[in-house]
């Protein structure tokens, strides 16, 4: 019923346009032709406004999710003006994830080295205590001490190199952040331009509405052309017949217009039979004009609401600007801590060099052994304190970074992600090629990568942690025995991790694993996969 009304309205519009065109050709009443064309243009404007409102809401909702911690968000839009904003937002998200992932990686590397340094200094301290207790064996102890200190110096130099590399990476991260901030400002300006454009369109639509209202007052004059309509009905009928013939020639593409032409021909025949029907149609047309004016005014009001939504979205942008400022603070804090770390390392290296020289002098004579051991113990105690302080600072940085990188996502979405990955890993572990540990496991991996495009990598280990097969050529070997996904699966459990940032792909990742049972129902391996999450 609704479609029939829409079709009838379109028929009336087209019939009126044809009548006005004929009248324009004979009488020169150009205002009526212009009015008919404006009606069709307004109809297109209304459809456009409804479509824009929906896309503004989608962008607003997505930005809110990111502000609440959903780093897996991917924006999309169909219209060109909104697609540019969506693309810029996606670029900002990718740059932010890349910077954060690199910071996390550097922090983890630094943490590992500082722990090694603390362990090495502790071992050296123990060695010095043993030397102090056994002065009679000082020569042999001094040689052992010299080797250990040399090893510590080597580790400290490695740590110093890593610290320098980390500082350089931190500079790059800051540059990346500035680039991200610049892109964000550009998106903000684009949104402001969009808001200004919407205000301008609203003003223009107001002017058009006023003109349309004036036009509606002139509808009454259409009654004066009723007599003329009677005269041109025959000609309208001929035009409709010609249109039907042309539509028939057009085949499938002309069916819709053929229906319109047929309805116009019927309308002309009815017009010829009774002028009263034309009067009723004109009255109905006047009602449709009123309906159109009401819809246009409603659309203008919705345009105003959309403008308010864009302003609200701008507020969300300002919140994200604040978040970016907080990231900059984290980056600067990390930079300061790295500078402090470099100073501490230099001090540690100088101290170790001094200890090494003392140990060499100790080997030259037993008279100075006792004093040298005491001095070395004091220096190593200072080194141990410096190493502990360095490790403490690094743990503070890690806690800040982990808090900033924690990924938040709606519970129902997270549950869907967990259930889907459990389903996929269970299906993969149940394949006969996997259960029998056949050579064509990679064929199964390719099949699953094609079937589930979100999968980034698949790997298969035996129960001793040996890599049997993987979906990537030249995959770096890792010892999986201390990984939660391996430990849980070896217990016979299907495991799905929390969401985290992948170091290599710079995207949000979830890891799933499952035990693999042979035909005798014995666990023979662990199958795992990484999936990229984009919400």
pLDDT along the chain (535 residues), means of 10: 45 48 44 45 46 70 71 73 76 73 71 71 69 61 65 70 70 70 70 70 70 63 64 68 73 68 69 64 69 73 73 70 67 72 71 70 62 70 71 68 64 86 93 84 90 91 92 76 92 90 76 93 93 80
Query: Is the separation of the CB atoms in 488 and 495 below 8 Å?
Result: yes
The CA–CA distances, whole Å, from 7 to 3, 16, 47, 263, 394 equal 6, 14, 16, 10, 71
In this predicted structure, what is the pLDDT of residue 218? 63
Rounded CA separation 72/93 (Å): 8
Residues in the chain, overall count:
535
3-state secondary structure 92-119: HHHHHHHHHHHHHHHHHHHHHHHHHHHH
**Tokens 């052992």 label which residue?**
144
Rounded CA separation 57/77 (Å): 11
The CA–CA distances, whole Å, from 245 to 258, 261, 264 equal 8, 9, 13
In this predicted structure, what is the pLDDT of residue 24? 43
Domains of the chain and CATH, by start: 46-239+307-408 (no CATH), 411-532 (3.30.450.20)
In this predicted structure, what is the pLDDT of residue 342? 66
Exposed / middle / buried, residue 324 (Cβ in 10 Å: 0-12, 13-18, 19+): middle
Rounded CA separation 254/248 (Å): 6
Rounded CA separation 185/321 (Å): 9
Q: Kindly report the number of other CB atoms within 10 A of residue 141's CB atom.
A: 23
Q: Strand pairing of 500-501 and 495-496?
A: unpaired
Rounded CA separation 30/345 (Å): 87
Query: Which is nearest to 506 in space by CA: 141, 96, 168?
Result: 96
In this predicted structure, what is the pLDDT of residue 8? 46
Which helix (H) or strand (E) element contains residue 522?
none
Rounded CA separation 263/11 (Å): 7
Rounded CA separation 341/160 (Å): 9
- Alpha helix positions (H), 134-225: 138-217
Angle value at C-alpha 433, between 432 and 434, nearest 5 degrees? 90
All residues at 6 or more sequence positions from 433 whose CB lies less than 8 Å from its CB, including other chains: 440, 441, 443, 444
The CA–CA distances, whole Å, from 167 to 99, 154, 253, 404 equal 14, 20, 67, 20
C-alpha 379: how far from its chain's center? 51
Long-range contacts formed by 118-121: CB under 8 A, 24+ apart: 118/384, 118/387, 118/388, 118/391, 120/148, 120/151, 120/152, 120/155, 121/152, 121/380, 121/383, 121/384, 121/387
């Amino acid at each position: 019923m609704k479609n029939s009304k829409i079709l009838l309205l379109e028929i009336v519009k087209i019939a009126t346009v044809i009548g006005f065109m004929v009248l324009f050709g004979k009488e020169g009443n150009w205002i009526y032709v212009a009015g008919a064309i404006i009606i069709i243009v307004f109809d297109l404007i209304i459809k456009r406004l409804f479509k824009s409102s929906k896309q503004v809401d989608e962008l607003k909702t997505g930005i809110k999710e990111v502000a609440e911690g959903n780093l897996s968000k991917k924006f999309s839009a169909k219209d060109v003006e909104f697609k540019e904003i969506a693309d810029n937002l996606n670029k900002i998200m990718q740059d932010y994830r890349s910077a954060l992932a690199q910071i996390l990686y550097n922090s983890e590397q630094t943490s590992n080295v500082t722990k090694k340094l603390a362990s090495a200094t502790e071992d050296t301290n123990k060695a010095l205590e043993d030397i102090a207790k056994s002065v009679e064996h000082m020569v042999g102890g001094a040689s052992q001490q010299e080797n250990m200190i040399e090893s510590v110096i080597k580790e400290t130099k490695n740590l110093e190199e890593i610290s320098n590399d980390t500082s350089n990476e931190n500079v790059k991260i800051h540059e990346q952040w500035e680039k991200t901030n610049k892109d964000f400002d550009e998106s903000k300006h684009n949104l402001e331009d969009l808001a200004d454009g919407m205000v301008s369109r609203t003003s223009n639509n107001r002017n058009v509405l006023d003109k349309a209202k004036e036009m509606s007052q002139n509808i009454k004059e259409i009654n004066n052309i009723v007599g003329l309509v009677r005269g041109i009905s025959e000609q309208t009928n001929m035009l409709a017949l010609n249109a039907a013939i042309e539509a028939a020639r057009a085949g499938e593409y002309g069916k819709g217009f053929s229906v319109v032409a047929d309805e116009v021909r019927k309308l002309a025949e009815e017009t010829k039979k009774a002028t009263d029907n034309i009067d009723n149609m004109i009255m109905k047309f006047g009602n449709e004009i009123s309906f159109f004016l009401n819809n246009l005014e409603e659309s203008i009001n919705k345009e105003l609401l959309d403008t308010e939504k864009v302003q609200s979205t701008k507020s969300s942008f300002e919140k994200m600007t604040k978040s970016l400022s907080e990231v900059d603070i984290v980056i600067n804090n990390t930079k300061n801590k790295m500078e402090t770390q470099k100073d501490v390392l230099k001090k540690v290296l100088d101290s170790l060099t001094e200890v090494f020289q003392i140990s060499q002098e100790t080997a030259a004579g037993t008279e100075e052994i006792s004093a040298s051991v005491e001095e070395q113990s004091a220096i190593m105690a200072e080194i141990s304190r410096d190493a502990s302080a360095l490790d403490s600072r690094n743990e503070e940085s890690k806690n800040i970074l982990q808090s900033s990188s924690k990924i938040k996502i709606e519970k129902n979405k997270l549950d869907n992600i967990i259930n889907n990955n459990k389903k996929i890993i269970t299906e993969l572990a149940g394949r006969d090629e996997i259960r029998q540990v056949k050579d064509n496991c990679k064929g199964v991996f390719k099949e699953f990568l094609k079937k589930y495009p979100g999968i980034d990598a698949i790997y298969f280990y035996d129960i001793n942690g040996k890599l049997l097969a993987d979906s990537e050529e030249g995959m770096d070997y890792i010892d999986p025995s201390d990984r939660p996904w391996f430990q849980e699966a070896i217990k016979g459990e299907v495991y799905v991790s929390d969401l985290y940032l992948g170091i290599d792909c710079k995207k949000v990742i979830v890891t799933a694993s499952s035990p693999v049972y042979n035909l005798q129902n014995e666990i023979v391996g662990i199958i795992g996969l990484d999936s990229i999450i984009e919400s």
